[in-house]
Structure 1
Amino acid sequence: MLDNSRKWRPEPDWADALLVAPSLRIRAVTGLPQHLVSGNIERFLARHGLGTDIGAFGLASGGRYAVRVARDRLLAVGVPASECPAGWHDEGYAVTAVGSALRVLEARGQGVRDLIARTTAVDPDNGGPCAALQFCGLTCSVYFHGDMQTLRIHVDRGLAAYLWEWMERQPLLSSRAGGG
């Protein structure tokens, strides 16, 4: 019987996954609580003390923040489930836990701008209000975290291995001549 699973490499061990180059390090961020919030997001932000949300190539800081992923939808990052239960809330918003649905990759270093130039046509200096954008041919939520040399990418779990392998093969990270 034909075994199609032999065509693909196994998924990385995300806890130890690391790509290193002279100007760039890419790793997976594990254990990060993530919740999709739909509806009255202003009330959600106020209720959880998150201030404002960030869009494409915006700068998030700290362990708790909100990322805009659509007109009336955001991704709450770092808010534990004990403070943010799933379901409908009387304040006018719904919460869905999505931590196991999205992988988070973090690229750090001076080569982040070069990586961005290879993955999207969006200008990182004029990103826009929504963090969801085409990144390496995939819809990902992309923003800076902590400083302008640390890029976070939220990608659908089923596509994370593809994105990881694509990054491995880039001249920025590849040890092969010509970038393979």
Structure 2
Amino acid sequence: MRNDTDRWAATTVGQKAPASFAGVTMSHVTGLEQTLISGPRAAALSHVQLTSAIGWPDCATGERYAVSLRRDRVLAIGFACGRFGWNDEAGLAISQMSQGYGVVDLTGPDALPILQTGTELSPKTPSASAVRLWHGYDLIVYALGHNDGFRLHIPAALLEAAWDMLSRQAKLIGGS
């Protein structure tokens, strides 16, 4: 596999100021190391020295964790993996995605209802994958640190539009 790391242009959306609405706060997270690892799950997790990856509605804690996207793909958060491209020894394709995904933290009692406006998403219906289609946007979504917090990884080219949709849904749900 070739190394396409340099093909990801820096996110075109500038740093967004936190936005607060009745019942929810949206924060644009920058500087988060994101690495996409494709290949056998055990090898991918071993590469980043973890034993499991979170899915939906699992909760990420700490600064380093992996998110399950498919049975053969994880997004490692907080790991600087060094070499990108094909790793022949491990049988893994490793891609730097820090500029490929914009990250938004959504917190507050209305966070889950806002996410539920655009997809069927219930904490009572677990899934090994954290990938969801929300209002037509492919998102990676999982709980973050506490019951009313979620982290969204959004393709960078769609971050501006998804931020706008999140804001509109927050206004509708929160009434502000």
Normalized against structure 1, the TM-score is what?
Answer: 0.82
Greater mean alpha carbon deviation, residues 61-70 or residues 37-46: 37-46
Question: Match of 2:84, as an amino acid?
Answer: A
Which residue of structure 2 lines up, in the alignment, with residue 4 of structure 1? Answer: none
Distance (whole Å) between structure 2 residues aligned to residue 115 and residue 92 of structure 1: 39
Distance (whole Å) between structure 2 residues aligned to residue 47 and residue 164 of structure 1: 33
- Tell me if structure 2 keeps the 8 A contact 1:33–1:81: no
Are residue 78 (structure 1) and residue 78 (structure 2) matched?
Answer: yes
Distance (whole Å) between structure 2 residues aligned to residue 12 and residue 24 of structure 1: 21
Instruction: List, as ranges, runs of 4+ consecutive aligned residues in structure 1 with deviation greater than 3 Å.
Output: none
Which residue of structure 2 lines up, in the alignment, with residue 34 of structure 1? Answer: 34
Distance (whole Å) between structure 2 residues aligned to residue 41 and residue 17 of structure 1: 36
Unpaired stretches in structure 1, ≥5 consecutive residues: 1-10, 176-180
The CA deviation string for residues 70-117 of structure 1, in whole angstroms up to 9 with x for no partner, is: 1211111111244xx212221221210011010011101111121122
Which residue of structure 1 lines up, in the alignment, with residue 173 of structure 2? Answer: 172
Are residue 52 (structure 1) and residue 52 (structure 2) matched?
Answer: yes
Identify if the C-alpha distance between structure 1 residues 72 and 23 changes in structure 2 by more than 3 Å, giving closer, same or farther.
same
Which residue of structure 2 lines up, in the alignment, with residue 109 of structure 1? Answer: 108
Question: How many aligned positions are there?
Answer: 162
How much has 1:130 moved relative to structure 2?
0.7
Q: Name the SS of the counterpart of 1:45 in structure 2.
A: helix
- Larger radius of gyration, structure 1 or 2? 1
- Tell me if structure 2 keeps the 8 A contact 1:41–1:93: no
How much has 1:124 moved relative to structure 2?
2.7
Alignment of 1:92-103 (within 5 A): 92-103=91-102
- Tell me if structure 1 keeps the 8 A contact 2:57–2:143: yes
Which residue of structure 2 lines up, in the alignment, with residue 130 of structure 1? Answer: 129
Question: Match of 2:102, as an amino acid?
Answer: R
Which residue of structure 2 lines up, in the alignment, with residue 13 of structure 1? Answer: 14
Unpaired stretches in structure 2, ≥5 consecutive residues: 1-11
- Tell me if structure 1 keeps the 8 A contact 2:54–2:66: yes
- Tell me if structure 2 keeps the 8 A contact 1:24–1:109: yes
- Tell me if structure 1 keeps the 8 A contact 2:38–2:44: no
**What percentage of residue pairs aligned between the two structures are identical?**
28
Q: Name the SS of the counterpart of 2:126 in structure 1.
A: coil
Q: Name the SS of the counterpart of 1:37 in structure 2.
A: strand
The CA deviation string for residues 123-161 of structure 1, in whole angstroms up to 9 with x for no partner, is: 232130111111222111110111221100111111111
Question: Match of 1:79, as an amino acid?
Answer: F
- Tell me if structure 1 keeps the 8 A contact 2:48–2:76: no
Which residue of structure 1 lines up, in the alignment, with residue 86 of structure 2? Answer: 88
Normalized against structure 2, the TM-score is what?
Answer: 0.84
Which residue of structure 1 lines up, in the alignment, with residue 7 of structure 2? Answer: none
Distance (whole Å) between structure 2 residues aligned to residue 110 and residue 169 of structure 1: 16
Distance (whole Å) between structure 2 residues aligned to residue 174 and residue 136 of structure 1: 20
